[in-house]
Amino acid sequence: MVTIKKYFTTTQLKMIALALMFLDHIYEFFSYTGLAPILLTMLGRLSLPLFIFCTAEGFYYTHDRKKYIFRLFVFFLLMEILRYSLVYTFPRPDGFIIQNNIFGSILLTVLSIYCIDRLKIHKQGTKDRLLYYIILITIMPLTLFVEGGWFFIFLGIMLYYTRDNRLAQAACFVALCLIVWANNASIQWMMTFAVLFIMLYNGKKGEGYKYFFYIFYPLHIALLYILSVILYI
């Protein structure tokens, strides 16, 4: 039987996802120059699935889930304010609009998982169960307005509830990607290769960088956008 050696902690996977995301955003903000190769955004397709995977893992071990959800909500709002402020204050001549806010995708993913977990508890009262059902129903249309859409929310739920069987998790991940993107003309099918990193996950959290992503994400979006405006002019 072949044994796959596990290399990456959650922290290391996040850093890999950050690097791939940065490449993707270089293409997104500077594709108008004609100098950014499409390979950058093709590699970037692996980023969001890795973030969603790390989110599913991290949420399982989070001690205070409500605090985690609230923190994501705060950063989602701050990112919304930032992206609209940037576009209004420094409009790009071609009318480019910043679409990026990964906090929304992660927020709806963990909120969905939280509600499903609560509904699985038999001691929940009728009012509590009704509340969780209402939240889940409300989340459904909201998935259309977050980065990656419904696919990544569903992907996060799937990754969370298959985490006890890594082989089944990887198989479901690949199958879901192929079913959704196999006949699609876009390059989204590239995200399927994120399974290679998932299979090398060693089940450990890793150390440090707890708030690095929360700071790096809005900062790099702002810098890349402003630089793209300067270069466009």
Please tell me the distance from the alpha carbon of residue 14 to that of residue 154, in angstroms, as a whole number. Answer: 20
- The residues facing 8 across adjacent strands are 201
Please tell me the distance from the alpha carbon of residue 191 to that of residue 168, in angstroms, as a whole number. Answer: 18
* Helix 10-30 / helix 47-61 crossing angle, nearest 10 deg: 150
Give the pLDDT score at 1. 42
Give the pLDDT score at 194. 95
Give the pLDDT score at 126. 76
* Residue spans of the chain under pLDDT 50: 1-2
Residue with tokens 């090398």: 200
Give the pTM.
0.91
Closest C-alpha to 76, from 157, 13, 142: 142
Instruction: Locate the domains of the chain by residue range.
Output: 10-232
Alpha helices in 45-149 (DSSP H): 47-61, 65-89, 102-119, 126-142
